[in-house]
Amino acid sequence: MIHQFTQALDSLLSIKSVSAHCDVPCGIYDPSTMQLAALSVIRFIDQINELDGKELTLADQAKLARLVAEKESHAEKVKQEVRVMWGDYFKAPQFEACPGTHELVHNIMLTGSKCKQGIDRAAGEELLTLVNEFANSFWKTKGVETYTATCPYAPAMEVVYPKLA
């Protein structure tokens, strides 16, 4: 028995690479993660722009590098989250209820890339607008009403929330 275990372990250890994609149909989808990521993109753009025009110390340069990396990471997170919801959650009934979803998702992808490539706050605001539109569509497919409110933290932008009883 120990010999079989050792052979199995040796076999596993000899694997050079493994790839997998988790498509467990848990059924838990929520646009809030992409909304927080879009808000973060705007906040990082604001913080980057606050460094403009000043002589950057070594610490400021390190901060700038971190801010840029996080901005790009959060823009990519928006794209990843919308890709998963579009690909895994949206099916024919949802597309029928929200006929502009394909174009909306495409625009989110393009705007997310634009946010990764630059520091234009207007692009970040557009990303949030598109993500809020997606969130509104998502909640519509669930039969849940929504409302819009200003988030209670910087950058204090309008966000679509579900009306939960």
Place of tokens 């099916």: 91
* Residue 1 forms part of a structural domain: no
The answer on pLDDT for 90 being more than 80 is yes
Q: What per-residue confidence (pLDDT) applies to 34?
A: 98
**Contact status, residue 71 vs residue 45, Cβ threshold 8 Å:** yes
**Is residue 47 very low, low, confident or very high in pLDDT (cuts 50, 70, 90)?**
very high
DSSP 148: E
Q: For position 93, which CATH number holds?
A: 1.20.120.400
Which domain covers residue 36, as residue numbers?
Answer: 30-162
Kindly report the pTM of this predicted structure. 0.85
Whether residue 147 lies inside any domain: the answer is yes
Residue 21, pLDDT score: 38
Is residue 133 in a domain? yes
Please tell me the total count of domains within the chain.
Answer: 1
Per residue in 116-155, is it b (16+ CB within 10 Å) or e — as a string? beebebebbbbbbbbbbbbbbbbbebeeeebeeeeeeeeb
* Whether the Cβ atoms of residue 75 and residue 41 lie closer than 8 Å to each other: yes
23 domain residue, yes or no: no
What's the chain's length in residues? 165
Look at residue 19 and tell me whether its pLDDT is greater than 50. Answer: no
Q: Would residue 10 count as lying in a domain?
A: no
